[in-house]
Amino acid sequence: MKKPKGIVLYQGKSLIDKKMIVVIATGFQKNYNKKTGDMIQIWILKADNPPIIAKRLGLDYSICGDCKQRHFGSCYVNLCHGPSRVYYAYQNSSYEKYDESMLEFFKGRDIRIGSYGDPSAVPIHIWDTICSVANSYTGYTHNWKKCNPDLKKYCMASVELKKEYKQAKKLGWRTFRAKLEEDSKFENEIICPATTVELSCNKCNLCNGMTSKTKKDVVITAHGADFKIQRFIKGIKKIKNKKKYKINYQNRYEELRKACKI
């Protein structure tokens, strides 16, 4: 069977807010990503709104939930690239709908669950199916307090604060912590080898939730575009100083949605 450009794994309601989302796997024909290596990339997108518009109008809640980086504007994913490209290709019917015969394309491959979007928005049977034949996978969720706890099998709990780290550990998660430069590493943490020895995720494979033989957690110093790092630092410092960090997005989103008649 010819390798598809992409496979639509799920079209349905988000488990976060019941709005329509779509889950698309790409990277079957060719794939180059320096940080992850050769991995199938999974995109969790709003089904009916381009990613940039969805973000501006706050509709990305369906796929990102209450991730702090969404409020800070510091998410490392560049929406103009992967998410927009995949969304418009989906709208142009460039991808095939999943059926059982397509599972062979996932066999022995390394999978990045959630190149954009939170895996907790998606019914877990999707991850059970493709991960059952994969060589390895990595995944992260900011929604670890509320989501299906079975997601621990595949995902790390994304945390930024010491308090969250402790809570997530109490709930039985392995964690992936983004920290400020001046913050130190916790005892059970390993520094992400992508930042120390330039190991790609598919070779490292530490971020595979409870599947991992190691019980260690992972920590990384905030990285990426400089302006995003600055936003991240600002947001975290506000929280640490107990200042309000959520601007009143809700009102702004509602005004914009009204103006756009959405």
**210: contact with ligand SF4 by CB under 6 A:** no
**180: contact with ligand SF4 by CB under 6 A:** no
**204: contact with ligand SF4 by CB under 6 A:** yes
Closest distance to ligand SF4 from the beta carbon of 90 (Å): 26
**63: contact with ligand SF4 by CB under 6 A:** no
Distances (CA, A) of 221 to 27, 183, 215, 257, 258: 28, 9, 20, 35, 39
User: Which region among 3-11, 80-88, 126-134, 203-211 touches ligand SF4 (by CB under 6 A)?
Assistant: 203-211
Q: Which is nearer to ligand SF4, 54 or 204 (CB)?
A: 204
Q: Which is nearer to ligand SF4, 63 or 194 (CB)?
A: 194
CA separation for the pair 231, 78 (Å, rounded) = 15
**199: contact with ligand SF4 by CB under 6 A:** yes
Closest distance to ligand SF4 from the beta carbon of 207 (Å): 3
Q: Judged by CB under 6 A, which of 47, 67, 86, 206 binds ligand SF4?
A: 206
Q: What is the DSSP string of 150-219?
A: GGGGT-EEEE-SHHHHHHHHHTT--EEEEE-TTSPPPTTEEE-HHHHT---HHHH---SGGGSS---EEE
Question: Which residue, 211, 208, 176, 181, is CA-closest to 192?
Answer: 176
User: Which region among 64-72, 87-95, 126-134, 192-200 touches ligand SF4 (by CB under 6 A)?
Assistant: 192-200
For residues 171 and 145, is the Cβ–Cβ distance under 8 A?
Answer: yes
SS3 call for 36: coil
Q: Judged by CB under 6 A, which of 47, 64, 67, 201 binds ligand SF4?
A: 201
Could you tell me the two tokens for 115?
């190149």
Q: Judged by CB under 6 A, which of 115, 120, 138, 175 binds ligand SF4?
A: 138
Residues lying near ligand SF4 in the complex (CB under 6 A) are found at 138, 192-194, 199, 201, 204-207, 218
